[in-house]
Amino acid sequence: MTKMNMLQAVNNALITAMEQDKSAMVFGEDVGHFGGVFRATSNLQEKFGKARCFNTPLTEQGIIGFANGLASQGSTAIAEIQFADYIFPAFDQIVNETAKFRYRSGGQFTCGSLTIRTPYGGGIAGGLYHSQSPEAFFAHIPGMKIVVPRNPYQAKGLLLASIRDDNPVLFMEPKRLYRASVGEVPEEDYELTLGKADVIKEGSDITLLAWGAQVEILEKAADMADADGISCEIIDLRSILPWDVETVCESVAKTGRLLINHEAPQTGGFASEIAATVQDKCFLNLESPIARVCGLDTPYPLAHEKEYMPDHLKTYEAIKRSVNY
C-alpha cells in the first residue's frame, strides 16, 4: 500500500496497464512529454517511448476517430479528452462509431479495447466550459459503459478493469478530487468489478445515492442527519451504464426512501432514469417521493458556483423533507 492522490492512482493504473499489455497506447492533447494538463500521464512517454504515449493534434473528433480505428485493429487504445466539456466534437465518433462498431459488423469488428478517460465536474472555479458533467448524454448510448471513481483506490481498480473490459468504456474522473482525495492504494495489479455499486455506509431511514465527487457530499450530509437521529445508507453507484439496479433497489426496499445527488442539471439528468426505475421496482416500498438534489437547469455558473452546487446543506435539507414527508 502507498499513499496516493487520485492523479497518482490514475498514473499508476496506466503504468500497470502499459507494462502488462505491450499493445496499450495512451494519447491525447498534451499527454506526451508534458504529462497532461493535470499530470495524469506523467512519465509515461519516458517509460514507454514516444510511439506508445503521444500528443495528438487538437482535435477531439480526430482523437476518438483515431482511437476507434486503433482499437478495431486490435490494439489497446487509451484516449484522453482533456476536459469532458470538450468531448462534444467527438460525439458522432462515440455515438455512431465506438458504441455501434461491434453491433453493426455482427461482431466481426469491435472497439472493445478502447477506454476514453476524461476529467469532469465542477468546484474548481472552471465556469461553464471546465465544469460540466455530461454522463447522461452517454448513458443514452447502447454499447457504451460509463464508470466514475470516487477515490484513488477506486480510480486504479476501476480504470484497470475499464481498460481490460471487452467493451468501450467512458471513464470519467472527478477532477475536483484529483489532488484533494488521498488514500491507500495497493501497488500491485487489481481490478474492481464494473457495473457494481458500492454500499459505503449502512443505514435504515433513507438511501442516499451519488457517484464520483458527490459521494463525499452525501457523507457530510449523512453526518448532519445522523446528529438528528436519521440513519442514512450511502451508495456509490460507480458505474452509470450498466448501473446496479439490484443493489439500489434492495437498499430502497429496506429504507423506503431514496435521494439522488448529481452535479449535472436536473432535467434529463441520470437521476431521472434512476428514479423512474426505482419507482417501477419499489413502488410499494416507497414512503416518500424520490428526491433529486442536482445542479440547476442553467449553464454551470462561475461567480455563483457555490450557490449552484448540490452541496451537503441542500442534501441535508432534502433528507429531512423526505423523512418528514
Partner 1 sequence: MKDRNHLSDIGIAHDVKMISNGLVDIPMLQLLSPDGVAHDSDGYAELDQDKSEKILQTMHYIRILDERMIAAQRQGRISFYLACTGEEAATIGSAAALEPEDMIMSQYREQGTLAYRGYTTKQFMDQMFSNQKDPNKGRQMPIHYGDKALNFMTISSPLGTQIPQASGYAYGQKMAGVDALTICYFGEGAASEGDFHAGLNMAAVLNCPVIFFCRNNGYAISTPAEEQFAGDGIASRGIGYGIKTIRVDGNDVLAVFAATKKAREIALKEQCPVLIEAMTYRLAAHSTSDDPTGYRSKEEEAKWREKDPILRFEKWLKSKNWFNEEAIKQFAVESRQEVLQTLKQVEKEPVNHIDDIIEDVYDTPPWHLKEQLQSLKQHIRQYPEAYPKTSGRIKND
Q: Which is nearer to partner 1, 67 or 218 (CB)?
A: 67
CA dist list (Å): 170 to 80, 165, 217, 239, 241: 10, 11, 23, 10, 10
- Grid cell listed for 155: 480510480
**CA dihedral sign, ordered 300, 303, 308, 309:** positive
163 close to 17: Cβ distance less than 8 angstroms: yes
Residue 33 appears among annotated catalytic residues? no
57 binds partner 1 (CB under 8 A): yes
Give the separation between CA 69 and CA 86, rounded to whole angstroms: 21
Determine the interface stretch with partner 1 among 95-103, 149-157, 199-207, 259-267 (rule: CB under 8 A).
95-103
According to CB under 8 A, which residues from 176 to 235 bind partner 1? 195
Q: Which is nearer to partner 1, 3 or 22 (CB)?
A: 22
Contact string 126-155 vs partner 1 (x = CB under 8 A): ----------------xx-x----------
Q: Which is nearer to partner 1, 144 or 177 (CB)?
A: 144
Q: Which is nearer to partner 1, 214 or 251 (CB)?
A: 251
103 binds partner 1 (CB under 8 A): yes
73 binds partner 1 (CB under 8 A): yes
Residue 219 appears among annotated catalytic residues? no
121 binds partner 1 (CB under 8 A): no
Q: Catalytic residue, from 80, 97, 130, 312: name it.
A: 130
Determine the interface stretch with partner 1 among 104-112, 129-137, 217-225, 226-234 (rule: CB under 8 A).
104-112
Number of residues that bind partner 1 (CB under 8 A): 49
Determine the residue type at 54. Answer: F
75 binds partner 1 (CB under 8 A): yes
CA dist list (Å): 225 to 9, 228, 316: 32, 5, 6
Q: Which is nearer to partner 1, 218 or 241 (CB)?
A: 241
86 binds partner 1 (CB under 8 A): no
Give the separation between CA 298 and CA 107, rounded to whole angstroms: 41
Q: Which is nearer to partner 1, 49 or 289 (CB)?
A: 49
Give the separation between CA 123 and CA 309, rounded to whole angstroms: 8
Q: Among 17, 25, 147, 177, which residue interacts with partner 1 (rule: CB under 8 A)? A: 25
What residues make contact with partner 1 under the rule CB under 8 A?
Answer: 23, 25, 51-52, 54, 56-57, 59, 61-62, 64-75, 77, 89, 92-93, 96-97, 100-110, 112, 142-143, 145, 166-167, 195, 242, 245-246
Catalogue the active-site residues.
Answer: 60, 130
